[in-house]
Amino acid sequence: MRKKVLAIYTGGTIGMEKEYTSGSLYPLDFEHILDKIPEIALLDCEVDIHSFDRPLDSSDIGPDEWKKFAHCIEENYHLYDGFLILHGTDTMSYSASALSFMLFGLKKPVIFTGSQLPVGDLRTDAKENLITSLYYACLYENGEAVIQEVAIYFEYKLFRANRTLKYSAENFDAYKSPNYPLLGSSGVNLQINKENLWRTASKDFFADLHLSTKVFFWRVLPGVSLQNLKNILVLTNTKILLLQVYGTGTLSGAKDTLTSLEKIRNSGIEIIVLSQCISGKICFGKYENSNLFNHLGAISAGDMTLESAFVKTLHLLDNPRYKEESFSDLFSKNLKGEKSP
């Protein structure tokens, strides 16, 4: 039986057409995508397209749009075998990571993809990304979906969504998963690394649309004092500070650094510590200048990406679903395969 896939078009380069006389890009009516990629008709699946009212640049996509994506999947979950989300590349890792936390009991593929060049461009990467993403979105064995999580497919690689980051604005190979291996890859044959796939213990599917915005991000820089940070956090009604530090968890050992962070913690604000390094993880106590985080009762983000740690925080903070557990305990858990032990 042919599988049914719902392709959700949000906007981005993949849905643009180039006007060659002027060189300008303009939005394509995505309902007519088959005219640009007739090979889709050869796939052993039925593809329905859902487009939002107005195509969005990915820089305009945030929590409100993530709720719409999750709600659309929830409404159509039992009507389709898989879901494909066509998205601009700049914030795709944020959106895909967010859905990984918002969708519970997921036992069907939710594949994000996009392109660096528009679908109408002569050298576009959109066709391969779109066609192979559809293959993964309708890949079943023995009546069960092979992919049962939110993933990103880009340039011959299938990634766990909440392990990804965009690292290149120029290369077709634009995404990396620095701390987790590939879920699959595309060559002459489609390869699936089944030992790397996520499986949920939840039975019933639903979408939890809770997202808080009381989160502030600060990147530590040499010579930049933290003295005024507490005032900013109080004014913005912040409950969580995402603090991105050096290496495995170090920052300046100056006395005013500890004093500033103590004032922040004493005001009731939780501190999550992330690394500025793409690869590796936070390890409190490895160096003397990271011992203060143990003193402060800060939370380690381990080897999570900034993108994943940020949206995980938005989802967990003040979420009534988790009122029986502290935020610190919840964040430290591996909920959707987003971090290593």
pLDDT digit string (tens) for the chain, length 341 residues: 899 999 999 988 887 776 767 766 666 666 666 677 888 888 889 999 998 888 888 999 999 999 999 999 999 999 999 999 999 999 999 999 999 999 999 999 999 999 999 887 888 899 999 999 999 999 999 999 999 999 999 999 999 999 999 999 999 999 999 999 999 999 999 999 999 999 999 989 999 999 999 999 999 999 999 999 999 999 999 999 999 999 999 999 988 999 999 999 999 999 999 999 999 999 999 999 999 999 999 999 999 999 999 999 999 999 999 989 999 999 999 999 999 98
Question: What is the identity of the amino acid at 148?
Answer: Q
Residues known to be catalytic: 13
- pLDDT of 12 reads 84
- pLDDT of 87 reads 95
How are beta strands 110-113 and 150-154 bridged, if at all?
parallel
HEC sequence for the chain? CCEEEEEEECCCHHHEEEECCCCEEEECCHHHHHHHCHHHHHCCEEEEEEECCCCCCHHHCCHHHHHHHHHHHHHHHHHCCEEEEECCCCCHHHHHHHHHHHEECCCCCEEEECCCCCCCCCCCCHHHHHHHHHHHHCCEECCEECCCCEEEEECCEEEEHHHCEECCCCCCCCEECCCCCCCEEECCCEEECHHHCCCCCCCCCEECCCCCCCEEEEECCCCCCCCCHHHHHHHCCCCEEEEEEECCCECCCCHHHHHHHHHHHHCCCEEEEEECCCCCCCCCCCCHHHHHHHHHCCEECCCCCHHHHHHHHHHHCCCHHHCCCCHHHHHHCCCCCCCCC
- pLDDT of 34 reads 64
